[in-house]
């Protein structure tokens, strides 16, 4: 089944398989690599440009309806960079 999700960075939609899922747990953000964690999640392309847009626009906290500071979001971007070499 083709499931469409919208990227919080560029706002383009993409296949669930092409996007990373972000979840909020214990005041921090992390990636849900298995895409199975319960709760609200948001989706982002594994691209630096999408992370920049999301952080600039504060779209991740808004999508998840949580408050997280910019540092937490930058940490998430660093995690992605290490994990994906983007
Ligand atoms: Zn994107």
What the chain holds in terms of domains, given with CATH numbers, is 4-84 (3.30.1230.10)
Longest CA pairwise span in the chain (Å) = 36
CA of 26 to the centre of ligand 1 (A): 25
Tokens 């089944």 belong to: 1
Per residue of the chain (86 residues), what is the pLDDT tens digit?
568 999 999 999 999 999 999 999 888 999 999 999 988 999 999 999 999 999 999 999 999 999 999 999 999 999 999 998 77
Structure tokens at 69: 């500071």
Structure tokens at 71: 């540092």
CA of 12 to the centre of ligand 1 (A): 6
At 27, is the secondary structure helix, strand, or coil? coil
CA of 68 to the centre of ligand 1 (A): 20
The pLDDT value given to residue 1: 56
Helix ranges (H only) for the chain are 48-56, 59-64, 70-84
Structure tokens at 45: 């392309």
The pLDDT value given to residue 56: 97
The pLDDT value given to residue 70: 94
CA of 42 to the centre of ligand 1 (A): 11
CA of 83 to the centre of ligand 1 (A): 17
CA of 44 to the centre of ligand 1 (A): 5
């Amino acid at each position: 089944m083709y499931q469409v999700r919208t990227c919080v960075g560029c706002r383009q939609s993409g296949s669930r398989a092409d996007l990373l899922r972000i979840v909020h747990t214990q005041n921090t953000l992390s990636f849900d690599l298995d895409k199975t964690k319960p709760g609200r999640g948001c989706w982002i392309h594994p691209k630096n440009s999408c992370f920049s847009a999301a952080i600039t626009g504060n779209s991740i906290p808004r999508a998840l309806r949580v408050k997280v500071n910019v540092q937490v979001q930058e940490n998430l971007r660093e995690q992605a960079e290490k994990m994906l070499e983007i």
